[in-house]
Structure 1
Amino acid sequence: MWLLRSLKLFSSSPMKKYKHHNVRDTIFSLSSGHGKCGVAVIRTSGPASQEALHLLTKWEKLPPPRQVNLASILSPKSGELLDRGLVVWFAGPRSFTGEDCCEYHVHGGPAVVNGILQTLGNLQMLRPAEPGEFTKRAFQNGKLDLTEVEGLGDLIHAETEVQRRQALRQMSGELGQLYHSWGQQLIRALAHIEAFIDFSEDDNVEEGVLIQVDEEVERLQKELVEHLSDSRRGERLRDGIQVVLAGATNAGKSSLLNVISQKPTAIVSSIPGTTRDVVEATLNIGGYPIILSDTAGLRDSDDPVEREGVRRAKARVEEADILVAVIDLNGSLLSQESLLAHLQNISFSTQGHSPRSVIVVLNKIDLLSQESFTDMQKLCQESGLPPTCLLSCHTGEGVSDFLRILRHSLEAICGDPLQGAPTITQTRHRLHLTACLDALGHYSVYRQQDLVLAAEKLRIAHRQLGSITGRVGAEEILDIIFSDFCIGK
């Protein structure tokens, strides 16, 4: 029977091995940061955690789970006092890893930490944990799916407030729940079409069930398209928004980079063409992570090194999420036509690609007379330029206005990760979702030609979703078939 053959193939998915995974080794590791600190946390996980706790504390009974208890931590061999600290016992499966776990909160001096780690390492039933093994066991034991694991990793590495919010939301499981709900829809659709293939001749399944499958697939396709059309804001927020300073030579790009980063990141010189390569600074602007890039001045040159710098500058403009067009106000007063020509040269001197957002910076206002400054303000209001800021890197005037405009642009690109539907944060997610959408498109093609091939496309689509969360199984399909159609009653 096709149904049983297909379920056998489905259950051989490589993700299947993670389900109901039993880990027998007991591992230990320092879970807090290395170096001197007030308190260090050493964690064990596995069936021998209980025995290790008895050996290190000489307690005859286990303490109540999830309660903090003061203990003398001793060497099992010599009985020497290693430290006095707090011990927390977590009985599986109600622990982070789903196994028996124990945490030792001890003084954070290197001698104390190394002494306890060495003592644990001398116990035959324990071994040092591999990198990420505690989290891996949490996934293997069903405590976290892959999206939650990735959210935990992002939370650990979050450097800004908005990154923290996004990571916490993903770690809460909301993104995984969205993909799980889509997977459930595909499971139901696949169960229905498989049941029609195998049992329609017995009049146990009505033909109208295929129409329901078609409607379900079409609805899921629309939701996937909308989810993928997010301008990659979650990935940008996770990796950093690319903000590129571009303009002619000596416009003040390097000076602006130094002012914003508040340190001499780039060399500043009155000699045109000082910057030959891309100089980057990773910054936190209003909670948003940005990668601010200073580029070579855009001009024609006979110097092969400078030409390479200009080529790299243009390539970086192509990649920019936000382009900051820096224009020098020194010299003759700029007209509306001249301003637009400068912007045209900076923004579209590459291959016609327009960055998502453009900010115009008119630099060196400290060299303008009050009358010229007033005229320039009026010109900016009437010229139809993108958001424009008049500033002086020399005096610092107008820099706060620029940062305000930049923050608004960052908010427009990334939004608030706590609002609306959860966003894609990993390139891996996008690849699997795109493959899922592609499989659903092929289902529509094969639907009128061959139901068996159409069902296979649904199976592929479900496997792609399951690859994101790390959970794929055939038992769920069997449950739906029997509950919905009462086959074999």
Structure 2
Amino acid sequence: MDTIFALASARGKAGVSVLRISGAGAWDAVSALCGGRLPEPRRAALRRLIWQGDILDDALVIVFAEGASFTGEPSAELQVHGSIAVVDAVMRALGQMPGLRLAEPGEFTRRALENGRLDLEQVEGLADLIEAETEAQRRQAQRSLSGALGRLAESWRRDLVQAAALIEATIDFADEDVPVDVTPEVTALLARVQADLSAQIAGFGAAERIREGFEVAIIGRPNVGKSTLLNALAGRDAAITSDIAGTTRDVIEVRMDLAGLAVTFLDTAGLREATDAVEAIGIARAQERARDADLRVFLIAPGEDPTELAQVQPGDLVRIAKSDTPAAGGVSGKTGAGVPELLSEIGEILSQRASGAGLAVRLRQRQGIAAAADALDRARAALDPGGAASEIVAEELRSAARALEILIGKIGVEDLLDTIFSSFCIGK
């Protein structure tokens, strides 16, 4: 396998730039630059980098032994001065060495996965951490990067293996000294796993919103002050405002950090009978986005009865537009009155929803968990009096385990036999 290298820090001028090298030839490459003076593994040392008689830079050099690096391969890091010219010179030198090549996107992390340094959840967590914009996203990504879901899935796997071992023991070793009726113990194991799976499925929606961001739609009649309120929330002129009805003909979005959560506010076209085809499209889009939004803020004119508006639904926040009396439910995008109170209430509502987030944050993970839960439902039904034979129960347990492969990998026959032998002392 090739030894790869790449710039690990951002491109451009900086105080320090970090170059990463990984593969069997990593130490030899660094040794060639350092004149054979490699530092001790995992100890930073100042070395002068020289290539073909040319001094490239004075750099901090760190080497990592196989099995003790991010990728699991012999690796090295060069911390050089953050000059574009210095980085280019070192990269050129590395590129001229036999067996070295520039890494492809994500190749270091892919090698970490292939070498068992990270599992798939951790790889995705690392990607999310790099993309994190808010505190909630950072915390969520850190949980994934720490392998929290993988550890939980491993506990599910142990329970499934134990349950399968009990069932298989009654099938394959019926004449041996094993429990006659394993149903109560198997039922308890499956119930415990099912409870955890159900909790993760229930918390998927909130976890996904933390990762992708919440949407809050501002809705109301034309000229009620929606665009002005959006500008006040954004702190800039994100939407065009005027006294002409129908000025906003599409959905205008402003993304911001609210209470540590990524929130996108949507300024929608005014709700009224359209006077032309273009406005009709804008209103239709507004209604569609509003239906899909996580929260809706309904602006009404002073004196307008919100109960007469069919679009207002339970859970909507209703505010009296162009009003400087927040205590009476008023808000003014022009003066800013009531805006802090509105933001505070929105943040509190969304934070409460986010508090129920599970560890599964991607659709792939949810699908794997849901498939496992379905298989366990069928297994428990087969355990009921008058249900299917033990062979069918065992097959459903294997289906549940296979569904979790996406998180924890495949459980094999050897795992199953090891559990049977250790638990029941078969053949003693």
Equivalence for 2:16: 39
Q: Percent identity, aligned pairs only? A: 41
Structure 1 residue 85: deviation in Å?
1.0
Structure 1 residue 450: deviation in Å?
2.9
Structure 1 residue 438: deviation in Å?
0.9
Render the CA deviation track for 1:395-429: whole Å, top value 9, x for unaligned. 11221111111111121111287xxxx53211111
Q: Secondary structure at the match of 1:245?
A: strand
Render the CA deviation track for 1:257-286: whole Å, top value 9, x for unaligned. 111112221111111111111111211112
Q: Which moved more, 1:135-144 or 1:427-436?
A: 135-144
Structure 1 residue 323: deviation in Å?
0.8
| 8 Å CA contact retained: 2:121, 2:147 | yes
Which residue among 314, 331, 339 is the counterpart of 1:399? 339
* 1:25 matches 2:25: no
Structure 1 residue 339: deviation in Å?
2.9
> Structure 1: how far apart are the matches of 2:260 and 2:294?
17
> Structure 2: how far apart are the matches of 1:159 and 1:457?
41
* 1:102 matches 2:76: yes
| 8 Å CA contact retained: 1:145, 1:471 | no
| 8 Å CA contact retained: 2:371, 2:403 | yes
Which residue among 439, 460, 463 is the counterpart of 2:402? 463
Which residue among 353, 356, 359 is the counterpart of 1:413? 353
Return the TM-score normalized by structure 2: 0.94
* 1:73 matches 2:49: yes
Q: Secondary structure at the match of 1:291?
A: strand
Q: Alignment RMSD, CA only?
A: 1.9
Cα distance change on mapping 1:33 and 1:275 into 2, 3 Å: same
1:193-342 aligned at under 5 Å gives the runs 193-200=167-174, 202-230=175-203, 232-329=205-302, 333-334=303-304, 338-342=305-309
Structure 1 residue 84: deviation in Å?
0.9
* 1:359 matches 2:317: yes
Q: Secondary structure at the match of 2:30?
A: helix
1:161-172 aligned at under 5 Å gives the runs 161-172=135-146
Q: Secondary structure at the match of 2:316?
A: strand
The count of aligned residue pairs is 425
Structure 1 residue 177: deviation in Å?
0.8
* 1:113 matches 2:52: no
Equivalence for 1:64: 40
Structure 1 residue 488: deviation in Å?
3.7
Cα distance change on mapping 1:470 and 1:272 into 2, 3 Å: farther
Q: Secondary structure at the match of 2:270?
A: coil
Cα distance change on mapping 1:280 and 1:34 into 2, 3 Å: same
Structure 1 residue 317: deviation in Å?
1.6
Structure 2: 5+ residue stretches without partners: none
Q: Secondary structure at the match of 1:346?
A: coil
> Structure 2: how far apart are the matches of 1:142 and 1:182?
20
Equivalence for 1:6: none
Render the CA deviation track for 1:411-461: whole Å, top value 9, x for unaligned. 1111287xxxx5321111111111111111122344422322221211111
| 8 Å CA contact retained: 1:42, 1:103 | yes
4+ runs of 1 displaced by more than 6 Å? none
| 8 Å CA contact retained: 1:233, 1:423 | no
Render the CA deviation track for 1:288-338: whole Å, top value 9, x for unaligned. 101211111111224222222221111112111111112222xxx34xxx1
| 8 Å CA contact retained: 2:204, 2:360 | no
Equivalence for 1:53: 30
1:91-170 aligned at under 5 Å gives the runs 91-170=65-144
Q: Which structure's relative contact order is higher, taking Cα pairs within 8 Å and 6+ residues apart?
A: 1
| 8 Å CA contact retained: 1:73, 1:82 | yes
Equivalence for 1:351: none
| 8 Å CA contact retained: 1:162, 1:416 | no
Structure 1 residue 231: deviation in Å?
6.0
Q: Secondary structure at the match of 1:208?
A: coil
Q: Which AA in structure 1 matches 2:364?
A: R
| 8 Å CA contact retained: 2:204, 2:361 | no
* 1:440 matches 2:376: yes
Structure 1 residue 160: deviation in Å?
0.8
Structure 1 residue 59: deviation in Å?
2.3
> Structure 2: how far apart are the matches of 1:79 and 1:317?
66
> Structure 1: how far apart are the matches of 2:427 and 2:26?
47
Q: Which moved more, 1:99-108 or 1:172-181?
A: 172-181
Structure 1 residue 237: deviation in Å?
0.3
Q: Which AA in structure 2 matches 1:363?
A: A
Cα distance change on mapping 1:256 and 1:471 into 2, 3 Å: farther
| 8 Å CA contact retained: 2:217, 2:266 | yes
Q: Secondary structure at the match of 2:404?
A: helix
Equivalence for 1:483: 422
| 8 Å CA contact retained: 1:298, 1:310 | yes
> Structure 1: how far apart are the matches of 2:246 and 2:269?
7
Q: Which AA in structure 1 matches 2:369?
A: L
Q: Which moved more, 1:65-74 or 1:472-481?
A: 472-481
Q: Secondary structure at the match of 1:38?
A: strand
Structure 1 residue 130: deviation in Å?
1.6
Q: Secondary structure at the match of 2:118?
A: coil
Equivalence for 1:11: none
> Structure 2: how far apart are the matches of 1:154 and 1:482?
42
* 1:347 matches 2:312: yes
Structure 1 residue 470: deviation in Å?
4.5
Q: Secondary structure at the match of 1:267?
A: coil
Cα distance change on mapping 1:440 and 1:162 into 2, 3 Å: same
| 8 Å CA contact retained: 2:21, 2:77 | yes
> Structure 2: how far apart are the matches of 1:191 and 1:79?
66
Q: Secondary structure at the match of 2:299?
A: strand
Structure 1 residue 31: deviation in Å?
0.9
Return the TM-score normalized by structure 1: 0.83
> Structure 2: how far apart are the matches of 1:91 and 1:347?
63
Cα distance change on mapping 1:89 and 1:217 into 2, 3 Å: same
| 8 Å CA contact retained: 1:152, 1:171 | yes
